[in-house]
Amino acid sequence: MANTTFIDAAHKVLKEKGIPLNAEEITKIALEMNLVKTSGKTPVATMGARIYMDIKRNGDNSLFTKFERGKFGLREWQKIGQKQSVFRTGSFKSAAYQVLKSENKPLSIQKITEIAKKKNLFTSSGKTPEATMGAQLYTDIKKFGYNSPFVQLGKNKFGLRESDKRRSIVGDPINFGGLIYGPLNENGVIFLFSKIHDRLGINIESIQATYPDAKGRRKNSKGWEDIWIEFEYKSSQFKNHKHDPKECDIIVCWEHDWKECPIEVIELKSVIKKLKE
């Protein structure tokens, strides 16, 4: 039995098959190919968590990238025409791309929408075009990851990935647990939460590529109860993504800006402040 890590096994499987696969398919093939040896009861969960966290932690340097419906592929495939974000002429995303391209700098959603309206780059009968613009850009980033032309560079600021390397933008200084600056996106929230989840009395069992993001357990008077967690930069983004509150127990975010939120919210900005007192 080869002593191969889950990450190495996943890479070999995807390299050989040449198509996106979900964690269950990757694990099954890896076991059949004798690439991994595990005595655990949930190798599929382990495989999914390892790949997912590799993407979260390593970003552009990860071997993997996410595809639709919980499937993973290899980042190297991007060079040979794997699925990219596309948008039709006159759409919100097309308008945002044109505005950001012409202005050549990151802008707030309000500013992007304002300029796009002045230039008649999109048509909308809705009363809240800014909310629609923000939701569409954020969803495009979350859906296509590094294949999206957009990047989120601040609390309410977006830019183009092609020009992102020219700028260095950080969050507010927090100097906590080796993290100098606060999060600016969902990845930062996950990283920070991983440092303090035990202080919150929460154990994490698995991270997954589908909604909700994580399964954990929290102790109550009867024992350790299972909880489902969704990570967001802002709590309101949970609503923008049209997630079903019935399928999630807790939103973990950096900034809680959704007053009518129907489920529990853990705002890390407030948690860090209290931990530093």
- Domain borders along the chain are 6-80, 92-166, 173-276
High-pLDDT (> 90) share of the chain, %? 36
Tens-digit pLDDT profile for residues 258-275? 999 999 999 999 999 999
Sheet with 107-108, strands from edge to edge, namely 107-108, 157-160, 150-152
Cβ atoms of 146 and 78 closer than 8 Å = yes
Comparison of pLDDT for 163 and 159, the residue scoring more: 159
Comparison of pLDDT for 219 and 126, the residue scoring more: 219
Q: What is the DSSP string of 110-175?
A: HHHHHHHHHTT------S-HHHHHHHHHHHHHHHHGGGSSEEE-SSSEEEEGGGGGG------EEE
Structure tokens at 6: 């889950």
High-pLDDT (> 70) share of the chain, %? 88
Q: Is the pLDDT of residue 28 over 60?
A: yes
Per-residue CA distances from 189 to 146, 154, 196, 220, 235 (Å): 18, 13, 11, 25, 11
Q: Is the pLDDT of residue 89 over 90?
A: no
Question: Which residue in the block uniquely carries the two structure tokens 């759409």?
Answer: 91
pLDDT band per the 50, 70, 90 thresholds, residue 48: confident
pLDDT on residue 136 = 87
The yes-or-no answer to whether 6-80 and 92-166 have a common fold is yes
pLDDT band per the 50, 70, 90 thresholds, residue 80: very low
Regarding beta strands 250-253 and 223-231, do their DSSP bridges make them parallel or antiparallel, or are they unpaired?
Answer: parallel
pLDDT on residue 33 = 85
pLDDT on residue 2 = 47
Chain-centre distance of CA 199, in angstroms? 23
Tens-digit pLDDT profile for residues 177-229? 878 888 988 989 999 999 999 999 999 999 988 899 999 999 988 999 999 99
pLDDT on residue 115 = 94
Angle 6-17/43-58 helices, nearest 10 degrees? 90
Cβ atoms of 202 and 216 closer than 8 Å = yes
The CATH number fitting domain 6-80, selected from 1.10.3210, 1.10.8, 1.10.357, 1.10.10: 1.10.10
Cβ atoms of 71 and 19 closer than 8 Å = no
pLDDT on residue 68 = 61
Q: Is the pLDDT of residue 43 over 50?
A: yes
pLDDT band per the 50, 70, 90 thresholds, residue 40: low
Q: What is the mean pLDDT of the chain?
A: 85
Nearest to 146, CA basis, from 42, 27, 249, 58: 58
Cβ atoms of 9 and 36 closer than 8 Å = yes
Nearest to 37, CA basis, from 27, 25, 26, 24: 27
Burial-class residue 190 by CB neighbours within 10 Å (0-12, 13-18, 19+).
buried
pLDDT on residue 81 = 41
Q: Is the pLDDT of residue 84 over 60?
A: no
pLDDT on residue 62 = 87
The CATH number fitting domain 92-166, selected from 1.10.3470, 1.20.120, 1.10.357, 1.10.10: 1.10.10
Q: Is the pLDDT of residue 111 over 70?
A: yes
pLDDT band per the 50, 70, 90 thresholds, residue 277: confident
